[in-house]
């Protein structure tokens, strides 16, 4: 039996509706019925259907008109016509308007089930073809790493070459350059692409819960361990585990991570049973790990285990050719999300984007474009709609035509209205991520230390 499908039957004949619903429900499908075209269209707008069975001859709105509106609203829906006029003319006309097949009256339950099963298979194959087209389009694996600069082309080339192997990769680069996107591209191009991709936010790991988070624990392992849990490594089995900001792992815990990387096995907290895992490991950091090694903050043996294949992602200021491309990419994304009819940028605005040094890189640009879209009054974003923050979280200013790089020396005093804006932005970020400082700091484009200082300054009381 095929996978259960969501089916809509539109027919003014009650006996047809009831008969179809009974036969298809017994086959395990979910069936809804409508006695006329207007009701059927309303139901199709409220719910997604895989297959629609549509009577051609109905009072009021006819089947052909309903068919056109159905395909206009949802081109992927598979519509099968029910007709007592099984003529070549009606079939051809229906096919021309988007119908997939037709079922002549009278028909048996067996005929109905056979046709619906074929329609479901047709829908599955259509979706599979869409997936294959997307896979071909994204063959480089860098569809989200938007850019046409030589620097990004080189990164894409390395990713394509490295991804099919199981080699451990260390992604380095400043905050906001797109290290997680690169990690996902490596996973998507690997033979593990259909397996889990599990992210470990090392900046948010609590030292006392490190082992439980990564390896899981058994019931009774410690006070409060009321049930056995699965850790990140076990979740990632057969797939990829991504250690984001691996340089933030405390030195005391690095040896435990090293042991798992070497042996590909671990024990749950409170258990003596070894669990073997098959995972591909990718790590990322914005730290200078070599300097951390010299300072005694990072283990040299762990560094060499992680950096079998090092990939350096360039900052946005070194790929100026990508700035306008990224701007339009984010504009399209946020215009659709916020349902705003904002279609472009003024030349003055684009010059301002080109001139700004982007200390927060692509993540800062994404936030900047979203803010500008919110501030815009018309279909074109103007330079006056821009506000830049930067990773040092200097108070925001409206951008001049050609903004200069912000610095602590020339930043405006954080007083009055500007301070209120900054405090509101920080408070909003903390609320958005339910007080998780690591995620709020990342969203704001600053480090946790700076965030704590700002919180203390404004008395937000979440340190």
Residue 430 pLDDT greater than 50, yes or no: yes
Q: Are 67 and 52 in contact (CB under 8 A)?
A: no
Mean pLDDT value of segment 217-240: 81
Q: Which of 258, 259, 296 is nearest to 274 (CA)?
A: 259
Neighbouring CB atoms inside 10 A of 21's CB total 17
Length of the chain counted residue by residue: 463
Mean pLDDT value of segment 122-142: 52
Q: Which of 172, 180, 147 is nearest to 326 (CA)?
A: 147
Torsion of CA 291, 297, 303, 305, to 10 degrees: 170
| Collapsed DSSP state (helix, strand, coil) of residue 211 | helix
For Cα atoms 305, 310, 315, give the angle at the middle one, nearest 5 degrees: 140
Write out pLDDT tens, residues 318-373.
988 888 889 888 898 888 887 888 888 888 888 889 888 888 899 888 989 988 88
Q: pLDDT at position 402, please?
A: 40
Which segments of 163-209 does DSSP mark as H helices, in order?
Answer: 179-188
Mean pLDDT value of segment 208-225: 80
228: burial class by Cβ within 10 Å (0-12, 13-18, 19+)?
A: middle
Q: pLDDT at position 1, please?
A: 39
pTM over the 0.75 mark: no
Q: What does DSSP assign to residue 344?
A: E
Dihedral angle sign, alpha carbons of residues 366, 367, 372, 374: positive
> Which residues face 241 on adjacent strands?
198, 281
Backbone angles phi, psi at 98, to 5 degrees: 115, 0
Instruction: State which H helix or E strand residue 170 sits in.
Output: strand 169-172
Write out pLDDT tens, residues 18-33.
999 999 999 888 899 9
Query: Across the chain, what does the average pLDDT equal?
Result: 81
Question: Domains in the chain, start-ordered, CATH in brackets?
Answer: 6-135 (3.40.50.2300), 150-314 (3.40.50.300), 322-404 (1.10.8.60), 413-463 (1.10.10.60)
Q: What is the spatial distance between Cα 67 and Cα 81, in angstroms, rounded to a whole number?
A: 9
Q: Are 444 and 429 in contact (CB under 8 A)?
A: yes
Q: pLDDT at position 348, please?
A: 87
Which segments of 138-231 does DSSP mark as H helices, in order?
Answer: 150-162, 179-188, 210-215
> Which residues face 388 on adjacent strands?
397
Token readout for 301 is 């043996």
Q: What is the spatial distance between Cα 246 and Cα 353, in angstroms, rounded to a whole number?
A: 31
Q: What is the spatial distance between Cα 440 and Cα 426, in angstroms, rounded to a whole number?
A: 8
Token readout for 26 is 């017994």
Torsion of CA 457, 461, 462, 463, to 10 degrees: 60
Residue 272 pLDDT greater than 90, yes or no: no
Q: pLDDT at position 420, please?
A: 67
Residues 6+ apart with CB under 8 A from 101: 80, 81, 115, 118, 119
Q: Which of 410, 309, 326 is nearest to 360 (CA)?
A: 326
Residues 6+ apart with CB under 8 A from 126: 76, 78
């Amino acid at each position: 039996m095929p996978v259960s499908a969501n089916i809509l039957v539109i027919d003014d004949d009650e006996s047809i509706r009831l008969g179809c619903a009974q036969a298809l429900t017994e086959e395990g499908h979910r069936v809804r019925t409508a006695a006329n075209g207007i009701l059927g269209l309303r139901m199709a707008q409220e719910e997604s259907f895989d297959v629609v069975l549509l009577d051609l001859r109905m009072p009021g709105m006819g089947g052909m008109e309903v068919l056109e509106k159905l395909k206009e609203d949802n081109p992927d829906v598979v519509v099968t016509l029910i007709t007592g006029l099984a003529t070549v003319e009606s079939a051809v006309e229906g096919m021309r308007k988007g119908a997939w097949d037709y079922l002549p009256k009278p028909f048996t339950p067996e005929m109905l089930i056979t046709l619906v099963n074929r329609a479901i298979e047709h829908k599955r194959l259509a979706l599979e073809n869409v997936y294959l087209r997307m896979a071909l389009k994204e063959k480089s694996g860098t569809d989200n790493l938007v850019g046409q600069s030589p620097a990004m082309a080189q990164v894409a080339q390395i990713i394509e070459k490295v991804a099919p192997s199981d080699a451990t990769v260390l992604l380095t680069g400043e905050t906001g350059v797109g290290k997680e996107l690169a990690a996902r591209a490596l996973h998507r191009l690997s033979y593990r692409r259909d397996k889990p991709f599990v992210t470990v936010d090392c900046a948010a790991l609590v030292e006392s819960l490190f082992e439980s988070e990564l390896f899981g624990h058994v019931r009774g392992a410690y006070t409060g361990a009321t049930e056995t849990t699965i850790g990140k490594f076990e979740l990632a089995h057969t797939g990829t585990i991504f250690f984001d900001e691996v340089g933030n792992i405390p030195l005391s815990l690095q040896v435990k991570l090293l042991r798992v990387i070497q042996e590909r096995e671990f024990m749950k907290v409170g258990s003596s049973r070894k669990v073997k895992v098959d995972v591909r490991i990718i790590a990322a950091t914005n730290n200078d790990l070599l300097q951390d090694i010299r300072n005694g903050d990072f283990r040299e043996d762990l560094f060499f285990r992680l950096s079998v294949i090092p990939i350096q992602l360039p900052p946005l200021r070194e790929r100026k050719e990508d700035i306008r491309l990224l701007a339009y990419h984010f504009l399209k994304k946020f215009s659709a999300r916020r349902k705003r009819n904002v279609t472009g940028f003024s030349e003055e605005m684009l010059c301002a984007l080109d001139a700004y040094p982007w200390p927060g890189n692509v993540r800062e640009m994404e936030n900047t474009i979203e803010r500008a879209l919110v501030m815009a009054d018309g279909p074109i974003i103007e330079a006056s709609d821009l506000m830049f923050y930067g990773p040092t979280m200097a108070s925001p200013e409206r951008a001049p035509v050609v903004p200069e790089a912000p610095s602590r020396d020339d930043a405006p005093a954080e007083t009055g209205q500007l301070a209120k804006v900054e405090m509101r932005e920080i408070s909003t970020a903390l609320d958005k991520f339910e007080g998780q400082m690591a995620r709020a700091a990342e969203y704001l484009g600053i480090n946790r230390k700076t965030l704590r200082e700002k919180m203390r300054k404004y008395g937000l009381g979440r340190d």
